[in-house]
Amino acid sequence: MSWSRTVRLPLSGGLPGHPNGLSYLFGREVRTAVAVVGLAGLAWLLAELPLLWSAAAVAAGGGILLVLRFPQLIWPGLAVALPFASALKRGPLSLADLMLGAAVLLWFAEGVRKDRLRLNSGVLPILFTVYLLALLLSFPNAIDLQEATESVIKWLQMLVIVLLIQEVLSLRQVRWLVWGLLAGGVLQAMLGIYQFVFRIGPPNFLLLDRFMRAAGTFGQPNPFAGYLGLTLPVAVSLFLLTCTSILRRPEGSLLQLLTGTVAYGGAAAIIGAGLLASWSRGGWLGAAAGVGVVLYYQGGPIVKGAALAGAGAVMLFGPLTYRYIPRSLTDRIADLPTYFGSGMWEVVQQQVTDSNFSIIERLAHWIAALRMWEMSPWLGVGPGNYAAVYPQVRLARWEDPLGHAHNTYLNVLAENGLIGICAFLVLWTGVVIWLLCMRRQILRREWETVDRERDLLPSSAAPLHAPTWNAALLIGVLGVVVHLSVHHLFDNLFVQGIYLHVALWLGAAAALFRVGRPGNAAAL
């Protein structure tokens, strides 16, 4: 599972008379000229624009200069801004797409400056490439070529992010990226909590006549809950690491551990509150599964014992305490078995009411996806073409295609056929196996390093402990993938930049393994 291959593209000798080749284009003279032009433009903006716009221009200019000087900062910047930048669109392009394009250009410019472009392949890029090939196989069946192209580009963007992050980021910069992803989740959760408390949103999101379902910048509660649920497991995993390490670490690192415990714990609490405010059942189930996996691998005996005791108490005393749980919450989860019950086909024929609307709507789109798959069992109707083909297979009372089948597995089956769904399942099963294998290798490598250091210390020295932040991050990312897999039973989370969010987590995991390999110690 650790196989990788490096491709280097030498770029020297590109310009006559300049031994450094294309790197001359990014030399001191060019950078000076760009700086002069930029300062002149900034001066004009300050003179002509209102104060607020001038401040925004100064901030944007400062950010551009900063990432030009330190190109790796574009990745944590993208992580923080992603949920907000994805909501700012002009046609098919969003600000997040432009930021990703800028990150690619910065990587290329840095490679040209150093006369070398390098990419490391590996398990993750191969898995993504296999699924991309499956999408291309079903592409000729698409009747809406624009939607098909955009769908393929999404997965191509994910592949590019994984390839570049594992190449350009050092271990310290991976931590910046993780903090950026957590910060973006905290900001989005705080916005959702504000919407929930102050009833900011459309009337149909009104909840209990007192609150409003949180949607953040996503416009809908379900993708908002999905985004937060794809951040929460990492915050919980790192919180458990710092919290349990307080009992094991030497006193010299106690302040650092306390700071980490408060920071990660606070992030997990805020993100969890935002997730609850979304009132999304799919988000709750996905979060329960993702955090449950984190507790299993990262919790330790005490946390695992407490979790098992809590689960046992719920099973034993749950019926007695049922009446003390708010009815709005119990009603929200009581009808979940309907989605998978044997009578779901009959449920669709029931009269639609406010209480069963969401269930019947989803089941109607599941049936439409199955009908769509019957039209082309092997290759599907084409990537991204669910909405385009929906009028041919829809049920009588459900005219709005909603853009997807509200079940990613059925959506993939309908759009890409049996070949596509098999490639999709292979992709995410391979990701899970890869994460577990990488965790095992990183733990073994870290303990070997500690054993070598211990042999050099006198017997009276303080005991050493293996650094486990890397392993905790990998378990957090595993929780992210588990949440994604469970939530995809009820929704499609590959919308509005969330797929980039997932790719950033996977890229961070891939970079951890690359920079820690023997021969890459300089990158640390």
Residue 118's SS3 state is: strand
Q: What is the pLDDT of residue 465?
A: 41
Cβ partners under 8 Å of residue 4, min gap 6: 120, 121, 122, 514
Across residues 107-116, what is the average pLDDT? 81
- If one compares 154 and 397, the residue with the highest pLDDT of the two is 154
Q: What is the pLDDT of residue 177?
A: 96
Residue 6's SS3 state is: strand
pLDDT-derived band at 404 (thresholds 50, 70, 90) equals confident
Residue 7's SS3 state is: strand
Q: What is the pLDDT of residue 269?
A: 97
How much is the CA Rg of the chain, to the nearest whole Å? 25
CA distance 131 to 155: 8
- If one compares 252 and 140, the residue with the highest pLDDT of the two is 140
Question: Tens of pLDDT along 349-370?
Answer: 667 666 667 778 888 889 899 9
Contact yes or no for 506/427 (Cβ under 8 A): no
pLDDT-derived band at 2 (thresholds 50, 70, 90) equals very low
Segment among 41-50, 144-153, 232-241, 402-411 with least mean pLDDT: 41-50
Q: What is the pLDDT of residue 403?
A: 85
- Residue 116's Cβ-count burial label (10 Å; 0-12, 13-18, 19+) is middle
Q: What is the pLDDT of residue 466?
A: 43
Segment among 53-62, 409-418, 422-431 with least mean pLDDT: 53-62
Question: Tens of pLDDT along 428-486?
Answer: 999 999 999 999 888 887 777 656 655 554 444 443 344 488 999 999 999 999 999 99
Task: Give me the amino acid identity at 428.
Answer: W
Q: What is the pLDDT of residue 34?
A: 59
Q: What is the pLDDT of residue 24?
A: 45
Across residues 399-416, what is the average pLDDT? 91
User: 499: closest CA among 128, 129, 157?
Assistant: 157
Across residues 86-108, what is the average pLDDT? 89
Question: Tens of pLDDT along 181-235?
Answer: 999 999 999 999 999 999 998 988 888 778 999 999 999 999 999 999 999 999 9
What's the half-sphere exposure (Cβ side, CA atoms, 13 Å) at 469? 15
Query: What percent of the chain stands above pLDDT 70?
Result: 70
Sign of CA dihedral 220, 222, 227, 228: positive
Q: What is the pLDDT of residue 82?
A: 95
Sign of CA dihedral 264, 265, 268, 273: negative
Indicate the Cα dihedral angle 224, 228, 231, 236, nearest 10°.
Answer: -170
CA distance 317 to 446: 44
Q: What is the pLDDT of residue 303?
A: 65
Query: What percent of the chain stands above pLDDT 90?
Result: 48
Contact yes or no for 301/309 (Cβ under 8 A): no
Segment among 19-28, 76-85, 158-167, 486-495 with least mean pLDDT: 19-28
Residue 112 has pLDDT above 90, yes or no: no
CA distance 173 to 176: 5
Q: What is the pLDDT of residue 335?
A: 56
- If one compares 328 and 188, the residue with the highest pLDDT of the two is 188
pLDDT-derived band at 116 (thresholds 50, 70, 90) equals confident
Provide the mean pLDDT of the chain.
Answer: 81
CA distance 524 to 170: 6
pLDDT-derived band at 326 (thresholds 50, 70, 90) equals low
CA distance 202 to 212: 8
pTM for the predicted model, two decimal places:
0.84
CA distance 454 to 434: 30
Segment among 27-41, 131-145, 503-517 with least mean pLDDT: 27-41
Residue 49 has pLDDT above 50, yes or no: yes
DSSP-H helix ranges across 169-299: 171-198, 221-229, 232-245, 254-278, 281-298
CA distance 93 to 80: 19
Bridge partners of residue 481, in order along the sequence = none
- C-alpha distance from residue 195 to each of 87, 100, 187, 190, 202 (Å): 17, 29, 13, 9, 11
